[in-house]
Amino acid sequence: MSKPAAVDPAELSFEQARDELTAVVDRLQRGTESLQESLDLWERGEQLAKRCEDFLAAARERIESVVAASSPDAESPTRRG
């Protein structure tokens, strides 16, 4: 019996990727998988971690942009010469 194909991490929300990554880590920590299954899980975990990192980087940029725009030093259209 073959395993169902895993969903492309690019299609997962942050929460979905985080939850699946947690499940992958749990399985790897148990140490009950074969070497091949462990390698497959590790690769999947790397993909999921990258997806989460991408979401967090985008969130960080968004926050920095909002903070910069609301800073008293930010140039507003009415302050321009």
Average pLDDT by stretches of 10, the chain with 81 residues: 74 97 98 97 98 98 94 61 47
What is the pLDDT at residue 75?
60
The enclosing H or E element of 38 equals helix 35-70
What is the pLDDT at residue 78?
54
List the domains of the chain with CATH numbers. Answer: 12-67 (1.10.287)
What is the pLDDT at residue 6?
87
What is the pLDDT at residue 27?
97
What is the pLDDT at residue 28?
97
What is the pLDDT at residue 1?
41
